[in-house]
Amino acid sequence: MPSSSHYDVIVIGAGPAGYIAAIRSAQLGFKTVCIDDWENNKKTPSPGGTFVNAGCISSMALLESSKIYHLLNNDISAHGIKVDNLEIDLSQMINRKDSIIASLNQQISHLFNRNKITSIHGQAKLLASGKVEVFEKYNNKKSNFTAEHIILATGSHSTVLPCAPIDDEFIIDSTQALKLTEVPKRLGIIGAGIIGLELAGIWNRLGSDVILLEAQESFLTSPDQQISDEAYQIFTNQGLDLRLGARVISAKKGSKKVILEYQDSEGNHTIHLDKLIAASGREPNTENLAAEDVDLVLDENGFVHVDKNCCTALPGVYAIGDLTALGPMLAHKGLEEGIFVAELIAEKHNPINYDIIPSVIYTSPEIAWVGQTEQALKAIGEHYKIGVFPFSASARSHASGKTEGLVKIITHAETDAILGVHIIGDQASELIAEAVLAMEFSASAEDLARTIHAHPSISEALHEAALALDNRALHI
């Protein structure tokens, strides 16, 4: 039992937004408690939220394993290396993923201890007048805690699809999709967005025949259209069966199969699958977040209503991360909001620039972008220029054998201000950081063009794309 029930700051949730809010609050001298109910299969606390325990980290760990397997099984001979009798030990692969998660859980717990943050494993509910009720799991006891400032950071969960009810055996969500004990021969995924594509890449490389069913007629509408078109071609060539305009009508368990019916422009279709993953988005975790007599305002989509400073309608109560519609549902967005709110409480105002938050899809190759797209600029009649450089013209990409994709830079036609940078290719998640930094400091494309990049390097593609804006690219 905690030694005190009164704190300066109470944080509900220990995902990226929550644990960072707690750490920064403690760094600023606030007496802080963080309450989180996530637990592993051993029923012990697992701080880190969905991001660490069942989302991006899990997905990235399995993607790395699947990429190694695919390389050894398909492309390693080009390097003069021969491998015989290659086998998958999926249980070991999952164990490696779980060990990474456990290590990060321990790291967060260590940071809490180091910063003297009280950590409580339990379920929290917001009460009136700066109070929080906590059901502590280790002793099955309810306790009340008070604070001048309460930060809500409970994250999100997979969207429930009435047409495909989860049974945790044949029809599963994205969390269960990262725990499979066998490689499905034929795998269906509802949703060809970020989550669906990341899962598809993993299991496709491990040997599944993957069918992605996307209700929208367009593929990947958030990135620049040229990048999306390139991605569609690459992923199709990799063997993914992408079916657009495919609206799932029903999915039910048959004889050790999933019988799925969907409709497209050509009519109704039925397919049989070994497993089906529902991966069509996420919704905020607001159920039972506040007592019935607490006027926590939600919008029509269930997000907590906040102002530009992440303040709710309740005095001293803030909401951050996936709980709000302020900015995209991304871990690094929530992380920055955690810092922002803690510093706001300390009267240190450092606003977040939501216009230049990078987005990443951890497929192979990766997709990353920041800023505006060409289609959005066309829609508003903006005058712009584009510079494109393909990785097929990069010496470093050839040496690594990863020549798919391109870099695209969009600038204002008159001022040369960088309006958007879009990348599909190896290490796109790392390359986008240079673009974000350039835009944060109002650099022009000419500044990128004048910056000396190491040769040969993958980052040269940004340099060449900047040169290409004025037909000065050197290697194409």
* Structural contact between residues 168 and 32, judged by C-beta atoms closer than 8 angstroms: no
Residue with token string 């009136």: 128
Q: Is 475 a catalytic residue?
A: no
* Contact present, 326 and 354 (Cβ < 8 Å): yes
Spell 52-74 as b/e; 16+ CB within 10 A means b.
Answer: bbbbbbbbbbbbbbbeebbbeee
Instruction: Please provide residue 107's backbone torsions phi and psi, each rounded to the nearest 5 degrees.
Output: -65, -40
Is 79 exposed, middle or buried (CB count within 10 Å of its CB: 0-12, 13-18, 19+)?
Answer: exposed
Q: Would you call 198 helix, strand, or coil by DSSP?
A: helix
How many Å separate Cα 381 from the centre of its chain?
A: 31
SS3 for 251? strand
Structure tokens at 150: 């309460």
**If you ran DSSP here, which 8-state letter would residue 45 be given?**
B
- Judge contact between 176 and 169, C-beta under 8 A: no
Smallest Cα–Cα separation from 451: which of 263, 346, 437?
Answer: 437
Sheet strands side by side (includes 247-253): 247-253, 258-264, 267-273
Distance between CA atoms of residues 253 and 206, nearest Å: 24
Q: Which of 110, 272, 398, 455 is catalytic?
A: 455
DSSP-based three-state secondary structure for 341: helix
- How many CA atoms lie within 13 Å of 92's alpha carbon, on the beta-carbon side? 5
Catalytic residue numbers read 455
